[in-house]
Amino acid sequence: MASLARSALSTAVRASRVGGPSTVRAVAARSVPFARSIASGTPRLDAEVHAGAPLTQTNRAEITLRRFWKNAHIKEDDGGYLVTLDHRNLKTPSGTKLVVPANRRLLAILIANEWENQEQVLKQHALPLTSLASRAIDGLSDPKTREAVIDSLLSYLETDTICYPDEAPDALVRLQKEHWDPLFKWLKDKYGVTLNLAEGFSPANQDPATVEKLRSVIEGFDIWELAAFERAVYATKSFVIALALVTGRISANEAAQASHVEVASQIERWGEVEDTHDVDHQDIRRALGSVATLLAKV
């Protein structure tokens, strides 16, 4: 008993070395009462039960990580397309039917293809379109969540990759001009805004009028476009590159190249690092390829 008490109390001590005083207080608040109960010989066990998400094909697969269906198909219903697993409708993690709009039949086919090509052990990274569609339906249909997401994405204007150009080496400067300068011009021509570039170690603070103009643009996105834009921003670390991709100004491959100019310049100078650069090359194209596919109205 004493050793367990000492172990619980030592957790707070270790926290001080990592997280500082605030972390210590948080950990101690949990650890000290438990340690005292152990030392007294009457351990206190606290448990809370929360209602979980309904069991659906999507989260059932996530839990078991095993294939439980034989075939995946699509069918027309509810004004769009449903994906079925052995004739059962595929649902989002929250239990909502995953209905793909009627003008995005290709998306429905490719989501079904993701599930059809799963092997006995589920590979979640091989379901990029399913996760993106679920994000649109589950997360971005709620007005409050939508507003919070838009606020979060606008904050990337201060840390946008293309707002931090370097003056050396030559290979990097050349790639920045090749991939970023056309985006600045496009932003000015299409939306009438010019972004401020970062100076020194300060963030790239943007004019309020610029932020509001770009806010009005993404507020006009439907749930599918906003889900695609969100993933593109996170993948590229760039509001502008993502906006150019979602609005059709550049392709997924061009967006990947624009977001990785620094890596490309390093490869030019020193060569490719196996299992690092090549993996990153494929990862970002998988993410941005799912964005382009979600947006295709075919």
Q: Any idea which residue has 């990592």 for tokens?
A: 18
Rounded CA gap, 240 and 174, in Å? 19
Return the pLDDT at 274.
78
pTM: 0.78
Lowest pLDDT segment from 21-25, 40-44, 65-69, 202-206: 21-25
Structure confidence by residue, pLDDT tens digits, 244-283: 999 999 999 999 999 999 998 988 888 888 778 878 888 9
For range 99-110, the mean pLDDT? 96
Return the pLDDT at 53.
57
Return the pLDDT at 39.
43
Q: Which domains does the chain have, with CATH numbers?
A: 57-127 (3.30.2180.10), 142-295 (1.10.3580.10)
Comparing 22 with 164, the larger pLDDT belongs to 164
Comparing 54 with 289, the larger pLDDT belongs to 289
pLDDT over 90 percentage in the chain = 63
For range 57-79, the mean pLDDT? 79
Q: Any idea which residue has 């290979």 for tokens?
A: 171
DSSP string, 34-79: HHHHHHTT-----------PPP-HHHHHHHH-B---S-EEEEEETT
Return the pLDDT at 290.
96
For range 9-23, the mean pLDDT? 40
Distances, alpha carbon 74 to alpha carbons 68, 88, 95, 99, 175, in Å? 17, 10, 18, 10, 43
